[in-house]
């Protein structure tokens, strides 16, 4: 796609066998880097993005012209200090920011894949991104870091490549997607599919966009990223540019107007089919499955030092699910730290200016980095 | 640093694997990390203390010792340290059992209710003792299960827990604090 022609990408030539059984090769993996790789290649951090994130974690996203999604955490002098570390961030496969995804053209049909794109998993995403280590000739990463779906990728990465990361920071995530989260994702997918413009996933070749469905999916999801207290404090029952109720279905309340806005800007930057594929990958995520339900076994061979972080008001990936990872690691005698950060900003806390969180990441990385120097 | 911490740290073997249960702001952990063993981590309940540990670059798990010790395998640490918190647990017996299960050795310190100042305070004033080691009033003390060094020794004897204690009578009267190494 032409809008992605100036962004960085590697073409992965090696065949990658996906969990669904299909094999892909010669596929693009779009990435961005921040900071400089040091002489002995020991300061590299791989960042994994969440559902609607991308490789442009910091600075200005050149495609959307918006701020990078992790500007609070990532940059020179910040928690993930790019004046010290070399940070690599890739767009997941299945995504829509230049990596191999459902809006790519299928060479056989000369049309976008649409729903003929293979169903991918978190495992597939991580295996695809592993190629970046080879590309940059990095023997061992200093750290792997990610929140939400990014945290799931962190866990999967460490499990797949037990001696490739010195440290790992999974944030606000889970080792096994819960029924509630599958339900919420299904709500989003059904909303997209119910849009007449979705056309069974082949909307692009008909020059249509299921914007309404995608916007509703985003609105519903956005609620789950916040907390009740946070919503109440910010919006309460405040009315939107009016003195009284209008006795109509306009956006009377500020929260309605806010959600509509969030939905409308989202469709400009995100592909509906990517939304389907990536939420599916999250739903399929269960790190315990391969290990007979025993999460500890997933980390048996790992020598990585973990630091797990959750947030008090995150009801989407609650502390209890993050703590399960801690318990599994402790049961194997692994090196793990854990902190639950107080915040009323819900699941989104990891993307926002939450000083205790940002400081925790900073101190952990600083200390760990001193130990290798 | 508190004198107690130096005395506890002295009991820890070089480069051993250590867990500090109720590690507070990480003062003792930091000292042990820098001087005795880097293989140390802590459990702490208070969020502000957890932050202080993180600022010191220590490995800490936010959690409740009463519930969270069970996740560790048997004998997974060379030393498990419990400094002056035993008496504050709802179920200290369970905590002690867990310490001795997950640690090859447990280092436990307790404020001694048998110290002469405590005894004298109660005897003469007739009110609940308030001392340097027991600074709270009866209505706001976190200490649910106070004991004397003698009580603690009796407890260990009854359960075949090995305890390093010399001069029981002397210590029970003159030590404000008891520091013990326990082994099952």
Q: What is the pLDDT of residues A321-371, one digit of tens each?
A: 999 999 999 999 999 999 999 999 999 999 999 999 999 999 999 999 998
Q: For the CA atoms of A94, A97, A98, A99, what is the dihedral angle to 10 degrees?
A: -30
Summarize pLDDT for B8-61 with one digit per residue, the tens.
Answer: 999 999 999 999 999 999 999 999 999 999 999 999 999 999 999 999 999 999
Is A148 an active-site residue?
Answer: yes
Q: What is the pLDDT of residue A44?
A: 98
Angle at B167 between CA B162 and CA B171, to 5 degrees: 100
CATH for B3-114+145-183 (3.40.30.110, 3.40.50.150, 3.40.190.10, 3.40.50.12280): 3.40.50.150
CB contact under 8 A, A333 and B54: no
Domain spans in chain B, listed from the N-terminal domain onward: 3-114+145-183
- What tokens does A310 get? 């959750």
Interface of A with B in 157-216 (CB under 8 A): none
Distance CA B53, CA A368 (A): 14
CB contact under 8 A, B57 and A333: no
pTM for the whole thing? 0.95
Strand partners, A143: A45, A167
Q: What is the pLDDT of residue A361?
A: 98
Mutate to test the interface with A, among B19, B30, B43, B51 (most CBs of A within 10 A): B51
What pLDDT band is residue B131 in, cutting at 50, 70 and 90? confident
3-state DSSP assignment of residue B111: strand
CA distances from B131 to A231, B28, B113, B119 (A): 48, 22, 10, 11
Helices (H), chain B: 3-10, 27-35, 47-55, 65-68, 92-102, 116-120, 149-158, 168-174
Q: Is A335 on the interface with B (CB under 8 A)?
A: yes
Q: What is the pLDDT of residue A2?
A: 61
Q: Which domains does chain A have, with CATH numbers?
A: 2-181+286-372 (3.40.50.1820), 187-279 (1.10.1740.110)
The residues of chain A scoring below 70 in pLDDT are 1-2, 373
């Amino acid at each position: 796609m032409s809008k992605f022609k100036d962004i960085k990408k590697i073409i992965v030539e090696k065949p990658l066998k996906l969990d669904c059984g299909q094999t892909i090769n010669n596929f693009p993996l779009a990435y961005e880097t921040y900071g400089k790789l040091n002489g002995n290649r020991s300061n590299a951090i791989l960042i994994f993005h969440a559902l609607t994130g991308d490789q442009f974690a910091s600075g200005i996203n050149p495609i959307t012209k918006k701020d990078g999604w992790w500007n609070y955490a990532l940059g020179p002098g910040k928690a993930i200090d790019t004046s010290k570390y070399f940070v690599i961030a890739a767009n997941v496969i299945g995504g829509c920011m230049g990596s191999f995804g459902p809006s790519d053209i299928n060479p056989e049909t000369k049309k976008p894949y649409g729903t003929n794109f293979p169903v991918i998993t978190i495992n597939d995403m991580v295996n695809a991104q592993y190629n970046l280590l080879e590309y940059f000739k990095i023997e061992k990463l200093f750290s792997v870091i990610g929140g939400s779906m990014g945290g799931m990728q962190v866990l999967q990465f460490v499990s797949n490549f037990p001696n490739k990361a010195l440290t790992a920071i999974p944030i606000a995530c889970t080792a096994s997607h819960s029924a509630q989260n599958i339900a919420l994702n299904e709500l989003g997918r059904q909303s997209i599919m119910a849009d007449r413009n979705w056309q069974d996933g082949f909307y692009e070749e008909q020059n249509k966009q299921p914007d309404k469905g995608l916007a509703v999916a985003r609105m519903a999801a956005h609620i789950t990223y916040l907390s009740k207290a946070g919503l109440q404090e910010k919006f309460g029952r405040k009315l939107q540019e009016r003195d009284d109720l209008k006795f109509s279905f306009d956006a009377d309340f500020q929260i309605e107007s806010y959600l509509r806005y969030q939905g409308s800007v989202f469709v400009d930057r995100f592909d509906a089919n990517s939304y389907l594929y990536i939420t599916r990958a999250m739903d399929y995520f269960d790190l315990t499955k391969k290990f007979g339900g025993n999460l500890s076994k997933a980390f048996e061979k790992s020598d990585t030092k973990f630091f797990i972080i959750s947030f008090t008001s995150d009801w989407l990936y609650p502390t209890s699910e993050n703590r399960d990872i801690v318990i599994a690691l402790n049961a194997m005698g692994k090196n793990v730290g854990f902190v639950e950060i107080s915040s009323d900003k819900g699941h989104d806390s990891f993307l926002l200016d939450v000083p205790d969180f940002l400081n925790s990441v900073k101190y952990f990385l600083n200390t760990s980095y001193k130990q290798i120097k | 640093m508190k004198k107690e911490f130096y005395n506890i740290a002295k009991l820890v073997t070089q480069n051993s694997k250590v867990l500090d249960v109720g590690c507070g702001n990480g003062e003792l952990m930091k000292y042990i990390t820098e001087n005795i063993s880097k293989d140390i981590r802590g459990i702490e309940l208070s969020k502000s203390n957890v932050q202080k540990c993180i600022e010191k670059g220590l490995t800490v798990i936010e959690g409740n010792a009463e519930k969270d010790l069970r996740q560790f395998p048997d004998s997974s640490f060379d030393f498990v340290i419990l400094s002056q918190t035993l008496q504050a647990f709802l179920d200290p017996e369970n905590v002690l059992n867990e310490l001795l299960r997950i640690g090859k050795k447990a280092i436990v310190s307790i404020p001694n209710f048998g110290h002469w100042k405590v005894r004298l305070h109660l005897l003469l004033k007739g009110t609940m003792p308030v001392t340097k080691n027991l600074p709270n009033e009866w209505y706001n003390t976190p200490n649910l299960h106070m004991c004397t060094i003698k009580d603690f020794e009796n407890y260990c004897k009854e359960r075949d827990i090995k305890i390093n204690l010399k001069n029981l009578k002397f210590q029970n009267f003159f030590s404000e604090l008891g520091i013990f190494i326990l082994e099952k």
